[in-house]
Homo-oligomer: A and B are copies of this chain.
Amino acid sequence: MSVTAPLGFRAAGVAAGIKSGGARDLALVVNDGPSRAAAGVFTANRVKAAPVLWSQQVLSGGRLRAVVLNSGGANACTGPEGFQDTHATAEKAAELLADSAGEVAICSTGLIGERLPMDELLSGVETAAGQLSRDGGLAAADAIRTTDTVSKISFRRGGEAAAAEDASSKPLGGNAGGKAPRGYMVGGMAKGAGMLAPALATMLCVITTDADLTSEELDATLRRATAQTFDRLDTDGCMSTNDTVLLLASGAAGVKPDLAEFEQKVVEVCADLARQLLVDAEGASKAIAIEVVGAASEDDAVKVGRSVARSNLLKCAIHGEDPNWGRVLAAVGTTDAAFEPDRLNVAINGIWICRAGAVGDDRSKVDMRPRDVTITVDLSAGPHTATVHTTDLTADYVHENSAYSS
């Protein structure tokens, strides 16, 4: 279903020849309206790839007709020529759609510092435009993969469709038959693994909806949703030059959604995609949730969670199935969050092995075998909480990332 689950969208994914080996490497997503409202969030890295600079400019208008995405090259650190390549790509898509390049966003992922093969890319855009269809969502999701082992897609129903579906317990029932005309859909696709994949792990995500919203509503929704989901995925602390998350609304379902419910649906799609990214993170053998409780503020909780998520020593310990709470405390201690060292408590998989900053329950009680590991840090400083997700650090991570461009 992916980005074409909602009405009003067509997509395609083709092999343009950007990647060697003949795999799909170019995706096109088109919004046929009636609305073109859109919003985007982008990497906070100050070294931004050309497509990010371009798309930020495009999104300042709050409207998107189409998105062109390519794998096989990030078009980052490519100078003014790289920006011209992005511009030319948007012009090509606009020409094929008889529309304006100023409403075409571009996303690229792959190796930094190399120009894209523009002949292949532009003819790929043409091929993709010829294959656009209501069924193209899966092919598009496939085309944006780099080292992702699987495509990442998600969708949720909202409005009366969701209510009707809840009543009939048919979780995957289609809405194509028009049985729920007053409902709406949110669909999405993503690639990457936080910052863990080798190409600096560009995370690209396109979310679509057939609900009718203004670009301001989409922008506020997207910022809040990504802050709670993708922003709390921290696999290796590295920040890509290309990260992009776009939200497009066609309005084709003719529904003005309840904003709180809509945000909830977008959060669910983002959380689902984030989880898929985490599980597919390269070289990872554990999915680690760092659950910070008892924080004086949500900011403190996120800060502590992120610090723990970035401790290489801890991530190695978890890989070795060692419930090393000392490394958790050492990571907490590097933050300026409100806490007293002798009031810190830490549980791993539910066993409170550190109490009051010192040894707690017997560490041999902790079952470290499951793939999912939950580390709970109680700061004993307030009522706020946050969860940050990461992975373990493995020899496979080192191998994958040592060999990428050589």
Contact = CB atoms under 8 A, between A and B. Distances in A.
Contact of A312 (B81, B236, B341, B344): B236
A25 to B, nearest CB: 19
B326 A77 contact: yes
A393 B236 CA distance: 12
Contact of A333 (B47, B321, B329, B404): B47
B77 A402 contact: no
Interface residues of A, number: 69
A358 to B, nearest CB: 3
A82 B358 contact: yes
Contact of A359 (B77, B201, B327, B342): B77
Interface stretch (A125-133, A166-174, A237-245, A287-295): A237-245
Contact of A317 (B325, B327, B405): B405
A333 B405 contact: no
Interface stretch (A29-37, A108-116, A139-147, A257-265): A108-116
A349 interface: no
Given A77-B329, A311-B238, A397-B316, A341 B112 contact: no
Interface in A222-254: 236-241
A78 interface: yes
A76 B326 contact: yes
A332 interface: yes
A354 B316 contact: no
A384 interface: no
A23 to B, nearest CB: 22
Contacts of A395: 395, 398-399
Given A330-B239, A330-B240, A331-B238, A401 B316 contact: yes
Contacts of A325: 77, 113
Given A112-B329, A241-B329, A312-B237, A322 B404 contact: yes
Contacts of A311: 237-238
Contacts of A112: 324, 326-327, 329-330
Contacts of A198: 313
A189 interface: no
A310 B341 contact: no
A237 B314 CA distance: 12
A41 interface: no
A402 B317 contact: yes
Contacts of A241: 326, 329-330, 333
Interface in A273-321: 310-313, 316-317, 319-321
A94 interface: no
A406 interface: yes
A46 interface: yes
A380 interface: no
Interface of A: 44-48, 74, 76-79, 81-82, 111-114, 195, 198, 200-201, 236-241, 310-313, 316-317, 319-322, 324-327, 329-335, 339, 341-342, 344, 354, 356-359, 393-395, 397-406
23 contacts: A46-B341, A47-B329, A47-B344, A74-B326, A79-B356, A79-B357, A79-B358, A112-B326, A113-B326, A195-B313, A236-B312, A236-B313, A238-B312, A238-B327, A240-B330, A241-B329, A312-B312, A316-B400, A317-B404, A321-B406, A322-B403, A322-B404, A322-B406
